[in-house]
Amino acid sequence: MHSWKERVRIRQGDIAQADVEAVVNAANHELWMGSGVAGAIKRAGGAAIEREAVAQGPIAVGESVITTSGNLPSLHVIHAAAMAAGRPASFESVAAATTSALALAASQNIESIALPALGTGAGRVGLSDCAKAMLAAVREHCFSHAQPELIVFMLFGDNALKIFEDQFAVEDF
């Protein structure tokens, strides 16, 4: 069996332009798409993504829903609620949202997915804690699920990229 790390890529770029089957939106529990990752996805993909998401909400923090992707190159958007609207995220909520997004992708037979650094914008989770929570959740998911085959962390900025790369390199999972 291959290492879970063989399924993971860490990249810098615009998640709205990721060449994957599904992109993950850093959502709040009400599923409104405001600024940050959600705003970028909505701007690039169109307001229909938000309307479709909101129609499925509100959801519990840590849960995820799936929508179509509008004008994005991906086929789907998975909205992972890492925080309640107007409230901070936490290590635990980031891990839970990551787990639920990956489980939803697996249940839909999605082979490739791009994730942002959940909870680090309005949710105010530090990048180091975010990387630890998300990488641990990805590792656990990979041990019990074959899908997605490719998991891409699509990060904004040099600092986020370095922190995720460093965490990925030092973790002895």
Q: Which domains does the chain have, with CATH numbers?
A: 8-168 (3.40.220.10)
In 3D, which of 65, 63, 59 has the Cα closest to residue 77? 65
Query: How far apart (Å, rounded) are the C-alpha atoms in residues 129 and 94?
Result: 9
69: helix, strand or coil: coil
Q: Crossing angle for the helix pair 47-54 and 36-45, nearest 10 degrees? A: 120
Q: Which residues contact 63 (CB under 8 A, 6 or more apart)?
A: 29, 80, 81, 97, 100
Least confident range from 21-25, 77-81, 119-123: namely: 119-123
pTM over 0.85: yes
| Mean residue pLDDT across the chain | 95
Residue 100, phi then psi, degrees to nearest 5: -70, -35
What are the pLDDT digits (tens) for 30-44? Answer: 999 999 999 999 999
Residue type, 97: A
Query: How far apart (Å, rounded) are the C-alpha atoms in residues 138 and 64?
Result: 15
What are the pLDDT digits (tens) for 138-151? Answer: 999 999 999 999 99
